[in-house]
């Protein structure tokens, strides 16, 4: 069942069952708390910029276990409002008390959109990023909180975000094609057996089954930890977001005309890798003393729980160093679940100065 009705209104009950429920489990919070790159970035952003926190009021949007609220208090905040939609709020409260910060951190169980604070805040901190930055659409809640509760000179943690893409090579392209072919082959045997043993001809469902499997194996983006060697062209910035000024309309549909030059000789172009970074810079009026970056780019020795999203091309193409890829990128929210995304790509390739006909691909970020 989708969480978004035909008129675009989100059904909060379904959204809770589909999206929030996993955040109510400690094992899921632990996964995020164990991501050293994520943790170090937020920790350093707070403790290397204590001037933003000392004596200030802070709002932590989606506090989960309470970690960012606790760090904000330890960095000297006067008051921290820690808002969490799920029952994880109860664990956050226990953790706050166990760390003797209950006089500073107030845990509020409820949806950010529904709750009321007694005052405006100087800092909004949140870890709202999903796969390829915008999956989960949690930034909407942070924007809503900012518009309602941030003081005019307040700062956002993080303050900026970017989406990136680059052409890649990947053996997943062969594996997924083979998985798809195997599923279709298996369906044929299933149709034969059902007719033989149970007297029902299922072949009328062959096309819908094939379409379903095609979407699953060939058009759904994949979580992957890419090695930097798998990148075969220059990286492209797809979207830049200033968290202090962005609106929900700015992020609902992401569109970009971008290009990449192939940097590898005679490479197999298997698709695109997508990732993001965020920065903690404070604001123009109130800059950070130490700017911190959290990147989820392919890395040789360390990865984040976000990994990268891989969009595979079937069939892969042979490319040469100096070839240009000219890309029209469009990402919008899935019609029946605003937290999932659909990506449309149109790609033209200039090989040895010659423009080849464009190809179009549709992908789903599920
Ligand atoms: C990615 S987790 C981050 C948790 C914690 N801040 C951390 O950094 O470890 C996001 C949390 O925000 C909560 N959340 C998402 N949208 C929310 C909303 N609109 N109101 C309140 N909580 C929300 C989720 O339930 C989840 O616990």
User: For ligand 1, what atom is nearest to the CA of residue 69?
Assistant: 6
Instruction: Give the model's pLDDT for residue 269.
Output: 97
Atom 6, ligand 1: which residue's CA is nearest?
Answer: 63
What ipTM goes with this model? 0.99
Q: What residues act catalytically?
A: 127, 136
User: For ligand 1, what atom is nearest to the CA of residue 32?
Assistant: 9
Distance 111 CA to ligand 1 centre (A): 9
- Report the interhelical angle of 88-98 vs 26-33 (nearest 10°): 60
Residue 292 burial by Cβ neighbours in a 10 Å radius (0-12, 13-18, 19+): buried
What are residue 318's DSSP bridge partners? 268
User: For ligand 1, what atom is nearest to the CA of residue 110?
Assistant: 21
Distance 139 CA to ligand 1 centre (A): 10
Of 301, 164, 294, 275, residue with least CA distance to 222: 275
Distance 63 CA to ligand 1 centre (A): 5
Residues of the chain with confidence (pLDDT) below 70: 1-3, 5-8, 17
**Could you read off the pLDDT of 282-340 as tens digits, one per residue?**
999 999 999 999 999 999 988 999 999 999 999 999 999 999 999 999 999 998 899 99
Q: Alpha-carbon distance 111 to 92, whole Å?
A: 15
Instruction: Give the model's pLDDT for residue 277.
Output: 98
């Amino acid at each position: 069942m989708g969480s978004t009705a035909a008129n675009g209104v989100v059904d909060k009950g379904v959204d809770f069952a589909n999206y929030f429920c996993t955040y109510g489990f400690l094992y899921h919070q632990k996964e995020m708390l164990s991501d050293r790159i994520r943790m170090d970035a937020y920790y350093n952003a707070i403790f290397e910029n204590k001037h933003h926190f000392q004596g200030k009021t802070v709002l932590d949007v989606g506090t989960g276990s309470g970690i960012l609220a606790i760090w904000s208090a330890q960095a000297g905040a006067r008051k921290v409002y820690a808002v969490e939609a799920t029952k994880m709020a109860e664990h956050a409260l226990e953790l706050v008390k166990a760390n003797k910060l209950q006089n500073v951190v107030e845990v509020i169980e409820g949806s950010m959109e529904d709750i009321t604070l007694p005052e405006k805040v100087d800092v909004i901190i949140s870890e709202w990023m999903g796969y390829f930055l915008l999956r989960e659409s949690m930034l909407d809640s942070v924007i809503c909180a900012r518009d309602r509760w941030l003081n005019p000179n307040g700062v956002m943690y993080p303050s900026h975000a970017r989406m990136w893409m680059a052409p890649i090579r990947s053996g997943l392209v062969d594996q997924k094609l083979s998985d798809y072919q195997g599923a279709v082959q298996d369906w044929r045997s299933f149709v034969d057996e059902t007719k033989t043993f149970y007297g029902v001809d299922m072949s009328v469902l062959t096309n819908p089954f094939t379409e379903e499997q095609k979407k699953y194996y060939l058009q759904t983006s994949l979580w992957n930890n890419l090695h930097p060697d798998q990148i075969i062209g220059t990286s492209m910035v797809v979207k830049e977001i200033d968290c202090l000024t962005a609106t929900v309309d700015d992020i609902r549909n992401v569109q970009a005309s971008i290009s990449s030059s192939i940097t590898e000789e005679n490479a197999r172009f298997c698709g695109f890798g997508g990732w993001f970074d965020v920065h903690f810079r404070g604001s123009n009026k109130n800059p950070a003393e130490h700017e911190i970056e959290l990147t989820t780019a392919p890395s040789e020795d360390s990865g984040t729980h976000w990994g990268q999203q891989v969009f595979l091309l079937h069939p892969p193409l042979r490319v040469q160093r100096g070839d240009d890829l000219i890309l029209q990128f469009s990402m919008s929210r899935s019609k029946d679940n605003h937290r999932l995304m659909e990506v449309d790509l149109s790609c033209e390739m200039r090989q040895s100065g010659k423009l080849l006909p464009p190809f179009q691909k549709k992908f789903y970020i599920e």
